[in-house]
Amino acid sequence: MAQQVEAGATSGPIQNEKLSKFTHLNESRMSRLDRKLKLLPAVEERLKMVRQPQNWLVITETWCGDAAQILGVLNKMAETNDAIQMKLIFRDENIVLMENHLTKGARAIPKLICLNEDMSEILGEWGPRPRKAQETREKSMATVPKKSSAEEQKAIKEEIQITLQKWYNSDKGESTQLEMLVEIEKWQM
């Protein structure tokens, strides 16, 4: 990501100033999270007990605001136990895989796919965002008037993004950790 920021670029086939700015902003968000994020004690303890190797394959893009808030949490969780390996891949370079893991018909990211040790079996998946964040987004999206102009819709969607980022800032990664804790329990069966 640092190379993309330095070059004024972003991931994916669409290269424009808006996505480049999101990539730059997301690098700052991820850096802050990396410095400040603390795992919840119960989550950290449970992660240390994972014995069955897991491969977390995360579909993402550098311009994605949700990814900026979630990848750092997932990475800290994976770093807690050597039995968990995490790898990031770009959505737009892996369309076939993404098409097999849609959320409500959409290519929503980030999307974590948990695979067994030899990557031959899918143990489960999570994403694109914590349920409370999804509810916040859906509630806000429901307020978008169907007959509003493209410019009005754009302004409303930008406001929704701000609302969602405020939610992430106040949540401090706790919802992601707690939801992942539930998933890890399922994946260890």
pLDDT score for 41? 97
Report CA Rg, the chain.
Answer: 17
pLDDT score for 8? 79
pLDDT score for 155? 86
pLDDT score for 134? 92
- Bridge partners for 18 per DSSP: none
Domain range list for the chain: 2-129+182-187, 131-172
Pick from 115, 107, 163, 108: nearest CA to 139: 163
CATH 3.40.30.10 correct for 2-129+182-187: yes
pLDDT tens by residue, the chain, 189 residues: 777 767 777 788 778 788 788 788 888 888 888 899 999 999 999 999 999 999 999 999 999 999 999 999 999 999 999 999 999 999 999 999 999 999 999 999 999 999 999 999 999 999 999 999 999 888 888 877 777 788 888 888 888 889 999 999 999 999 999 999 999 999 986
Q: Map tokens 């007990």 to a residue.
A: 49
* Burial group, residue 89, by CB count within 10 angstroms (0-12, 13-18, 19+): middle
pLDDT score for 25? 81
Q: Map tokens 């429901």 to a residue.
A: 142
What is the pTM (predicted TM-score) of this model? 0.88
